A and B are shown apart, each in its own frame.
Chain A
Amino acid sequence: MAEAIQLRSVTKAYQRAGESLRVLDELELTMAGGTFYALMGPSGSGKTTLLNLVGGLDHADSGTVMVGSVDLTQLDGSELAAWRAGNVGFVFQGFNLLPVLTARENVELPLQLTPLSRRQRRAQAERALQLVGLGDRMDHKPSELSGGQEQRVAIARAIATDPQVILADEPTGDLDRSTAAAVLQLLQRLNRELGKTILMVTHDPQAADYADKVIHLDKGKLGRIDANPGRG
């Protein structure tokens, strides 16, 4: 069973031009495990900040961020890194692949942090790449792949260690419509077939249609959560 995510009274502020800008303001939010969420809201509403806190990339100023039974606010930088390695996968708008590594090596990156043998790592990376339909592009470097293929490599990397939570920040922002649809279908498959909890930041209502629920943020607070009518 995928792990639930709970945020309690989470506040996060940034210093900008000498002023404190509160991006998340006493946010209360509960997300069920195994659900595909889209996170929407105007620019500056705190979507990416929320994603970073849930992914353990950043620390909340106050409040608690629970993923399963782990309170991320209690972990230091190294502990968060170790937690990320086994519990969460990221998919970014800019794909964020290491350009000097091949697709397979990029997917193997998080697997290097596991106790798997070299052979097992390789096999798992290949399985992940086959799952995203890139079995024939394993030895290509990112510069030799299309945008859609790069994003699929990023998704393969995100699922390589079999984390329960996948966080995607505008994963289709740099893709054309048909490629974006393919990537969204892939995320949907990961949710439906593998039971991954997915939290996807998007500006695009059509992308949000692929999610089970849409969370609306407004000025750092929860606006509302809509169940997607097209999804059950």
Chain B
Amino acid sequence: MISVRRYLGHYLGLSLLALTIATVAGCTKKSEPSGEGAQSAANVGIVGDEILVGQFGAFTGSEATFGQSTDKGVRMAFDEKNQAGGIKGKKLKLISIDNQGKAEEAAAAITRLITQNNVIAVIGEVASSRSLAAAPIAQQHKIPMITPSSTNPRVTEVGDYIFRVCFIDPFQGTVMAKFAHEHLKVKRVAVLRDMKSDYSIGLADFFIKKFTELGGTIVADEKYQSGESSFEGQLTQIKAEKPEAIFIPGYYTEVGLIAKQARKLGITATLLGGDGWDSSKLYEIGGDDINGGYFSNHYTTESTDPVVVNFIKKFKERYNGETPDALAAAGYDAAKVLIEAMERAPELTPKAIRDEIAKTKDFVGVTGKITIDENRNASKPAVVVRVDGPNNRFVTTIAP
């Protein structure tokens, strides 16, 4: 008898382990928003007269400006549509979930959006690595996902429910190689890539491929890791090779620091980059040293295209005079492509919406004319801009 009691007490911990899980799991059921969780498969994403659309992004963390900008663009598009009467008499409701810029959180976030909030479609993510973590889950549940600005080719290869409204890495690398060759007429270029970012590696690879094809020489291929703050070692190596231009396909924080340190070392080569440069923080960090650098981008605020002018005007009115960056524009376009597809769809089901997104042709977006190709990528032109103080000056457009 005693032994039984002893044994019970001894292993009570184990039994309680099971109990704890049961209790906490029981609590979660209650915390589920009522109504949304109990939808049948037939009307996914429709609650009353609201259409639920999910968005996941890095609203906090080191790339928070990306997530927040995108969110602003998406919200603006949704509110405009709702003011104009909504879709088929229903209003759009956006559910945004933060993933703190972490890959495993992105997987949890999209699973939550799809299985708990029951959204009809998902918009996200900016960073390719997080889109890659999330895309298989959207594909598995057959919920269309549109990424506004994940440029890694692999993202849309995951499946037929994954789309993007931006160009892909090979294209940006190619654009800058063409630009360096034709516009700047340089022959010797050094590359400084961020080994921690697949985006940076992709751009660098395709830049090197195109540039050598065009007859140029890559004199150095140096590497750094985002999060570092001293790049003098790599820059000294590059300086010794006397390049005419340096291609730095990184993110704004490091690029700003690199520019400062390069000028300090006496490097006068032109700096080139991709859309990771696009942030008002670039000039804050890099100061005058970043002036005169060129980067490829999705759109430019200097465009005289009425669509762009109108978008910037409305955005500034809505967000206290803030100038929209390319990510806001891409988010706006992603939302618009989704809205148009919903309008055209004969019924509001994920399948019907997917089919209509795939048919998007010559959609006039803020970031250019978007046509979704058979690989679910957007084919559209890129712009090249020059950094000039806090503003970016439009230089040229390069078609696919």
| A and B interact physically | no
What is the interface of chain A, defined by CB distance below 8 A to chain B? none
What is the interface of chain B, defined by CB distance below 8 A to chain A? none
